[in-house]
Amino acid sequence: MNQKKHSKNVRMEDIAREVGVSRVTVSVVLNNRGEELRISKRVQDEVWKAARRLGYRPNVLARRLRSAEPSMLFIALATARQAPLTILSSVYTGADLFASKSQVPIQLTVESFSQGQLENLPGLLDGLRFNGAIISNSAPEDEVFLEKQELPIPVIVFNR
């Protein structure tokens, strides 16, 4: 099978089944601990090839929940590519000021999208990349899209 499956939810179990190893082995390899835990180079290569072939993307939120800082929040500052950078700068400055005063650690990430194409923003529909989003400079098509969705994360929309 040389084609990518176009599934949003390829799991480690899928890779394990494809390669014929355990889910734990897949996890160890994908976390770059294969050599440390003495998994053969051949098995590591097969796991990585299967992950690429199946289109595996790690569940970032699940990984973060298992990390040493489970209470950290990841907030996307999503802005249309067509927006002036001064607007993004102001939003980032305000969000960063809030984050610096928060008792919960907050990591800000800047995400861009083309106006009218907000539905293509990675992580927005599946909640795998961030815990919330601040969206600016959306187009009317983006507003219609947002009104029809039940997003898995809180979203603030401004400067419409």
Closest CA to 133 of 73, 57, 67, 64: 73
| CA distance linking residue 28 with residue 147, whole number of Å | 40
Answer whether 0.75 is exceeded by the pTM.
no
User: Tell me, what's the pLDDT at 108?
Assistant: 85
End-to-end Cα separation, the chain, in angstroms: 45
Q: Are 85 and 137 in contact (CB under 8 A)?
A: no
User: Tell me, what's the pLDDT at 25?
Assistant: 94
User: Tell me, what's the pLDDT at 96?
Assistant: 83
Closest CA to 61 of 53, 69, 50, 51: 69
User: Tell me, what's the pLDDT at 141?
Assistant: 94
| CA distance linking residue 45 with residue 37, whole number of Å | 15
Domains plus CATH for the chain? 12-58 (1.10.260.40), 66-158 (3.40.50.2300)
User: Tell me, what's the pLDDT at 57?
Assistant: 75
Amino acid symbol at 51:
A
Per-residue tens of pLDDT for the chain, all 160 residues: 444 444 457 889 999 999 999 999 999 998 888 888 899 999 999 999 999 899 887 766 566 555 555 467 888 989 888 877 777 788 888 888 888 888 778 888 889 999 999 999 988 887 778 888 999 889 999 999 999 988 888 898 987 6
Burial of 112: CB neighbours in 10 Å, binned 0-12, 13-18, 19+: middle
Closest CA to 105 of 56, 72, 64, 128: 72
